Amino acid sequence: MAAENPNVFNRLFTPPDKAVQTINDDGIHDPQSPAVGVLQEPKQAFAPLEKSISGNYVDWTKSLKKQQINPLFDYQDPAKKAQPMNLNIVMEVKGSTPDVVFPHDIHTELLDCSVCHPQVFVPQKGANQITMAEIMLGQKCGICHGSVAFPVSDCKACHAGKPAEKKAANKETKK
């Protein structure tokens, strides 16, 4: 028997009316736990932050730049500060899809390097094969993108490199 909605399996395609759920019914928190009554509801917590048009409707990058959020890198050492890394990684993509540009700067302003390295990504060129299927299943980039960061349905946010035809033209001019 087919599912009524073919995307029902995919947590990344949450309809807008269900994007910001209550803690009681988010499927993560135990509604029987007394802690649930102490936690702030996402809708209330996100209200003053910069808006986006997808995901949880928060633009975390703009919110960080406007100092509306202050990431805590180490709960055991609240004084620990970000060490932004000014490095863009360009991952070539097959076909006509634009290449992926991974900006380390915003990621390292929000997260400590140990969040991703070496468990999720090996810090070595060519060591990480990433597929959209893995991302959509909550692996690799999908660990955050689709849950706390913008969803994979916002293609241009990652696929921001030169389209294939431009890459081909550049290779021709270099000959």
Indicate the length of the chain as a whole number: 175
What are 44-88's pLDDT values in tens digits?
A: 999 999 998 877 788 999 999 999 998 887 778 888 888 999 999
Among candidates 16, 7, 41, which has minimal Cα distance to 26?
A: 41
Taking the C-alpha atoms of residue 30 and residue 33, their distance in angstroms, rounded to an integer, is 5
Q: What is the mean pLDDT of the chain?
A: 83
Higher per-residue pLDDT: 62 or 147: 62
Q: Which amino acid is at 136?
A: M
**Token pair recorded at residue 173:** 């001019």
| pLDDT over 90, % of the chain | 42
Higher per-residue pLDDT: 157 or 54: 157
3-state secondary structure of 51: strand
Mean pLDDT over 13-34 rounds to: 76
pTM above 0.75, yes or no: no
Q: How many H-runs (helices) and E-runs (strands) does the chain carry?
A: 5, 2
- Where do the domains of the chain lie, and which CATH numbers do they carry? 11-174 (3.90.10.10)
Torsion of CA 68, 76, 148, 46, to 10 degrees: -30
What are 115-133's pLDDT values in tens digits?
A: 999 999 999 999 999 999 9
